[in-house]
Amino acid sequence: MGGLSLQHPWAFAFGLLGNVISFMTYLAPLPTFYRIYRSKSTQGFQSVPYVVALFSAMLWIYYALLKSDELLLITINSAGCVIEAIYIVMYLAYAPKQAKMFTAKILLLLNVGVFGLILLLTLLLAGGEKRVVMLGWVCVGFSVSVFVAPLSVIRLVVRTRSVEFMPFSLSLSLTASAVVWFLYGLLIKDKYVALPNILGFAFGVIQMGLYALYCNATTRQAPKEVDGPLPEHVINVAKLGPMATIELNMPAAVQPPTKENIVACASGESKEISVEKVDMATNVEHV
Distance CA 244, CA 179 (A): 13
Report CA 205 to chain centroid distance, whole Å. 17
Q: What pLDDT score does 169 carry?
A: 73
Confidence of residue 165 (pLDDT cuts 50, 70, 90): low
**Mean pLDDT taken over the chain:** 75
Q: What pLDDT score does 255 carry?
A: 44
pLDDT digits (tens, 9 = 90+) for 2-24: 455 445 788 889 999 999 998 98
Distance CA 72, CA 3 (A): 7
Backbone angles phi, psi at 102, to 5 degrees: -65, -45
Q: Is the dihedral of CA 79, 37, 249, 277 positive or negative?
A: negative
| CB within 8 Å of 127: residues ≥ 6 apart | none
Name the nearest CA neighbour of 261 among 251, 253, 271. 271
More confident: 153 or 210: 210
Q: What pLDDT score does 115 carry?
A: 94
How much is the pTM?
Answer: 0.70
- Residue 235 bridge partners (DSSP): 248
Averaged pLDDT, 202-228: 69
Distance (Å) of CA 196 to CA 32, 135, 193, 233, 258: 28, 14, 7, 25, 50
The angle subtended at Cα 275 by Cα 102 and Cα 236, nearest 5°, is 45
Residue 230 has pLDDT above 60, yes or no: no
Averaged pLDDT, 119-132: 87
